[in-house]
Amino acid sequence: MMRTLTRRSFARTMAAGVSAIATAPWLRSAPAKPNIVFLLSDDVGIDLMGCYGSDRFKTPNIDALASTGIRFETCYSTPLCGPTRCQFNTGRYPFRTGGLTNRSWAAQGGMGPKAAAEFPIARLLKQAGYATCSSGKWRQIEQTPGDWGYDEWLTDPAAGGWYWQKSYTRNGKLVESDKEMYCPEVAHEFAMDFMRRNRKGPFFLYYPTHLVHGPILRTPDSAADSKDLYADNVAYLDKLVGKVVKEIDSLGIRENTVIFFSGDNGTAKQSGNVHGRQINGAKGSMWEGGSRVPLIANWKGTSPRNKVLPDMVDFTDFYATFAELAGAAPPSGMTFDGHSLVPQLRGQKGNPREWIYVQLGKNWYVREKSWKMNEASELFDMKDAPFVEKPVSSGSDTADSAAARKRLAGVLATLNPAGGKVETFREDRTARTGRRKNRKKKN
């Protein structure tokens, strides 16, 4: 049975004593609002991470974040960066928003997601009292980060890799230099400056680095005769993660800051094995390797240390999680697909998902722990995933596969991705009236 985040269900999860605030009727205040830092790597599957068993790559800083926090074993993005980023910012599946592929608004004749038609997470957190910032990759979503609720932003002129350049865009203005800059460092410093200026909090930092998207070029740490620039780029990603954690520590805000690290899709090319075995599929595919990504959550003093969770997660869950952390419920009248991970962050069992949903264009699948069904109603045995996905014909069903076939078909029928209409945000009269009153008070 499908469970979605609604105003009523969200309220049931909030602690007693929650009070309404005036900025909008769906917002709620919580006793404490931690800072939220979300680090999104590019084209990074679990096969690139040491803590997930990579045979080739070393990621000591990311591994340290996992060993002092929570590592989720089964997190799913979409197979491409654009729909993943849309899903992250909206908390809704692609068929609800129109964010079906990269640059959806161009690929679909202007029919992709628009900020005004959604209620983006940055807008929700901003109304809950958070300063908001996006620093890094953006170009796969229409409009600017400012349109999507971010107070400050630094971004790129292109949707692919963005490394040695002479310009970037800061808060909507082009910044040019006579010399080449290593842009991941430019974005990093912008993000760190935002945290320093907002250290008293609460703040929300969305930090989508371009590492390790192609073209794979030298990094500032690459040796002149480096024979493995790809490994250099993975190492530099790890270095930047370490620098973020060090900055948060130096600001004295570590215990009031929740740090997340994940990836926007699977590895672009099969770059390494996990415990000696190759993952099935890579970026762009509907196989496991297209969407299975690392997810690490670290909240010092609150989250358990060195915890490995099998709980299934998809990218709609971050909206629900951030909303609960901020004490803010989404507006009524829209379907939000996420499940909050806050109980798990606090060391509790929570209410783990029974299934996740992945979509790219006209292809999709719903997946539970041991089984997966796609848009063609094909069933796959996933007991040996992410390495093997075994097709199961209806003629060879066992009692277990027949039951799974029925369950997953029921989930897809409820979701109805082929026949569902794109939902858009409509602000209710109470919200508009409340905002007008607030503006009058300020003036």
What are the tokens at 362? 């006209």
Q: What is the model's pLDDT at position 158?
A: 59
> Distances in Å between the alpha carbon of 133 and those of 48, 87, 127, 220, 397?
27, 18, 14, 25, 50
What are the tokens at 322? 């951030």
Q: What is the model's pLDDT at position 433?
A: 45
Please state, in angstroms and rounded to a whole number, the distance separating the CA atoms of residues 77 and 294: 10
CA angle 219, 222, 226 (to 5 degrees): 130
Q: How far is CA 224 from the centre of its chain?
A: 35
Please state, in angstroms and rounded to a whole number, the distance separating the CA atoms of residues 176 and 166: 6
- Residues whose CB is less than 8 angstroms from the CB of residue 269 and which lie 6 or more positions away in sequence, other chains included: 282, 283
Q: What is the model's pLDDT at position 425?
A: 77
Question: 330: closest CA among 149, 157, 189, 60?
Answer: 149
137: helix, coil or strand? coil
Q: What is the model's pLDDT at position 104?
A: 63
Taken in order 349, 355, 49, 139, the sign of the CA dihedral is negative
Domains in the chain: ranges and CATH: 32-354 (3.40.720.10), 362-423 (no CATH)
Please state, in angstroms and rounded to a whole number, the distance separating the CA atoms of residues 70 and 356: 19
Amino acid type, 65: L
User: How confident is the model over 222-281, as pLDDT tens digits?
Assistant: 999 999 999 999 999 999 999 999 999 999 999 999 999 999 999 997 667 999 999 999
Q: What is the CA radius of gyration of the chain?
A: 21
In 33-155, where do the E strands start and end? 35-41, 70-76, 131-135, 152-155
Please count the other Cβ atoms lying within 10 Å of the Cβ belonging to residue 227: 7
Please state, in angstroms and rounded to a whole number, the distance separating the CA atoms of residues 164 and 151: 26
Q: Which helix (DSSP H) or strand (DSSP E) does residue 138 occupy?
A: none
pTM of the model: 0.89
Please count the other Cβ atoms lying within 10 Å of the Cβ belonging to residue 13: 16
Classify strands 203-208 and 35-41 as parallel, antiparallel or unpaired. parallel
Q: What is the model's pLDDT at position 109?
A: 55
Task: Kindly report the backbone phi and psi dihedral angles of residue 346, in degrees, each rounded to the nearest multiple of 5, phi listed first.
Answer: -95, 10
What are the residues facing 131 on neighbouring strands?
203
Q: What is the model's pLDDT at position 186?
A: 96
Taken in order 212, 102, 53, 185, the sign of the CA dihedral is positive
Q: What is the model's pLDDT at position 140?
A: 75
Q: What is the model's pLDDT at position 143?
A: 86
Enumerate helices (H) and strands (E) in the chain, giving the number of each.
Answer: 13, 17
Below-70 pLDDT ranges, the chain: 1-31, 103-112, 157-160, 270-271, 426-443
Residue 132 near residue 326, CB atoms below 8 Å: no
Q: What is the model's pLDDT at position 272?
A: 76
Q: What is the model's pLDDT at position 135?
A: 97
What are the tokens at 49? 């991470």
Burial class of residue 437 (count of CB atoms within 10 Å of its CB; 0-12, 13-18, 19+): exposed
Is the bond preceding 386 in cis, omega lying within 30 degrees of 0? yes
